[in-house]
Amino acid sequence: MALALLMQSAGGSEAAEYVYMAAALLFVLGIKRLSGVRTARSGNWLASLAMLAAVMVTMIVLWDVVGGFILISGLVVGAVIGLLLATRVPLTEMPELVALFNGLGGASSMLVALATMAFYISTMGDPGSAMVDGFAIGTVSAGGGHYAAAIVASILIGAVTLTGSLVAYGKLSGKVNVSRKGPLGSQPMNVVLLIAALLLCWWGGFAADSYGMILTAQVLLTLVALTLGIGLVLPIGGADMPVVISLLNSYSGLAACATGFVLENNLLIVAGSIVGAAGLILTMIMCKAMNRSLPNVIFAKFGEASEKEDTGYTNVKSTSAEEVAQLLDVAQSMIIVPGYGLAVAQAQHKVRELADYMSSKGCDVKYAIHPVAGRMPGHMNVLLAEADVPYEELHELDSINGEFSNTDLVIVVGANDVCNPCANDDPTSPIAGMPVLNVWEAQTVVVIKRSLSHGYAAIKNPLFEADNALMFFGDAKQALQDLVTEVQDL
């Protein structure tokens, strides 16, 4: 608990402030460079350097007060955990990892705010009245209203982010498959919880007249906010989890920014503001890519239908590696559409091997990347970059959609909702109006998929029954390997 108070001395150190300002600048430059594929690696290094500088200067300032053993122990434990996660978590599980990171960020903000108040109250006791200038929390630091607002905001946003992120993790990993748990998850219950949380914020921050009442209000606020986080995310369908992750990322940034005011730490304020703004911008970009509003994502159930596999398909034409190899042998142009199935099968190297062989034969090969392909923004780009796919061959939806009609062969690898013609043809569909890749306009479409199961939107895909579509059932990695073998043997 004392560490929260001690951090204030670190933020107030003149030398530390200069380093924090430099780190903040590096964070901004790093994020700027992350916006481009060619500069992303250097941007990541700049942001990492900024974090290293911030951690090191904080350790130096607190060395004599906290003790070197505790600081070094925390550094080593955190570094080991980070290294294990970076080296052992596959790209297919990155969305779940990002969700957990968001939750941990929210938990940190919540705990720092609670620890700060508990420390002040334990050292000052309860003199009877905690009200100063009309602000309950303002008395403990002479911070006034803005300090009171920062404390309750850190607790509220941090707690919502923590449990909301844990539910998002469960949905992404398939461990949570319900949209309600009793009344929890219903909109009326969420409204009640939100009103209760706001009232507790007012009571604990501005109305309580003793330290005991302040602490009681904040403990109750924590419990209500934790429950609210579950209720807000529980009813949201799996198809919307990428948007939810981005939104929770923004929440974690806002919570960190509020905690920066609690600790009077300028770097935390700047970094939290950047993360909050970036997360919100990304959320809006993804909503636009799905042709949906943010309120519709938050309050509408999408992707929770229970359509069974293979239901409703009557005109599916199955194919084999030998038949697809014949198509590849004569194709002069080919577009590859990667989806989450490619990521699950870790087939990025095989798809690049097939593309390289086709290019060596003079075929024009391109990749069509949908904004929400996979389960988080940039998922496919990173996956294909890992396989050294040339950046010039990756094309976003807007630039590639007009080329399908002039393409001999399209190979869809594990994608579903992002190439579903219902978005264009069925105004009653849950994905109506969502920008999709018009793969059906090509001369021939081959869909590599394990089965006819639906995607996250949980709806039928008429593409599978199109006259020019062939279904190649099987594991994506093995299917692509079979295609490479067969086409090379022709």
Per-residue confidence (pLDDT) for residue 133, from 0 to 100: 46
pLDDT at 257 over 60: yes
The distance of Cα 49 from the centroid of its chain, to the nearest Å, equals: 23
The dihedral through the CA atoms of 317, 323, 328, 330 has a sign that is: negative
Higher-pLDDT residue of 377 and 280 is 280
Residue carrying structure tokens 């998922």 = 379
Task: State the pTM of this model.
Answer: 0.78
Contact 208, 217 (CB under 8 A): yes
What's the one-letter identity of residue 13?
A: S
pLDDT at residue 142 in the model: 45
Strand partners, 396: 369
Q: Which residues are catalytic?
A: 417
- Give the least confident one: 18-22, 110-114, 119-123, 217-221: 119-123
Backbone φ and ψ of 192, nearest 5°: -60, -45
Give CATH 3.40.50.1220 domain extents, the chain.
321-489
Residue 367 φ then ψ, to 5°: -115, 135
State the average pLDDT over residues 271-284.
88
The answer to whether residue 141 scores a pLDDT higher than 50 is no
**Contact 189/235 with Cβ under 8 angstroms?**
no
Residue 127 has pLDDT above 50, yes or no: no
Residue 252 has pLDDT above 50, yes or no: yes
Would the pLDDT of 244 be above 50? yes
In the β-sheet with 444-449, what is the strand arrangement from edge to edge? 394-396, 364-369, 333-338, 409-413, 444-449, 469-473
Q: How far apart are CA 260 and CA 252, in angstroms?
A: 12
List of residues 6+ apart from 476 with CB closer than 8 A: 341, 342, 344, 345, 347, 350, 351, 413, 414, 448, 450
Q: What is the pLDDT of residues 393-447, one digit of tens each?
A: 889 888 999 999 999 999 999 888 889 998 888 888 877 788 899 999 999 999 9
CA distances from 399 to 271, 369, 442 (A): 34, 10, 15
Q: How far is CA 332 from CA 281, 322, 358, 381, in A?
A: 39, 18, 9, 24
CATH number, domain 321-489: 3.40.50.1220
Q: Provide the angle, in degrees to the nearest 10, between the axes of the packed helices 68-88 and 40-66.
A: 160
The answer on pLDDT for 8 being more than 70 is no
C-alpha 286/C-alpha 298 separation (Å) is: 13
- Say what the pLDDT of residue 308 is: 42
Is the model's pLDDT at 261 over the cut of 50?
yes
Among candidates 215, 205, 106, which has minimal Cα distance to 163? Answer: 106
Highest mean pLDDT: which range of 219-233, 390-404, 455-469: 219-233
The candidate with the shortest Cα–Cα distance to 109, out of 151, 52, 146, is 151
The DSSP 8-state label assigned to residue 206 in this structure reads I
DSSP 144-202: HHHHHHHHHHHHHHHHHHHHHHHHHHHHHHTS---S-BTTBTSHHHHHHHHHHHHHHHH
- Give the model's pLDDT for residue 447: 94
β partners of residue 181: 184
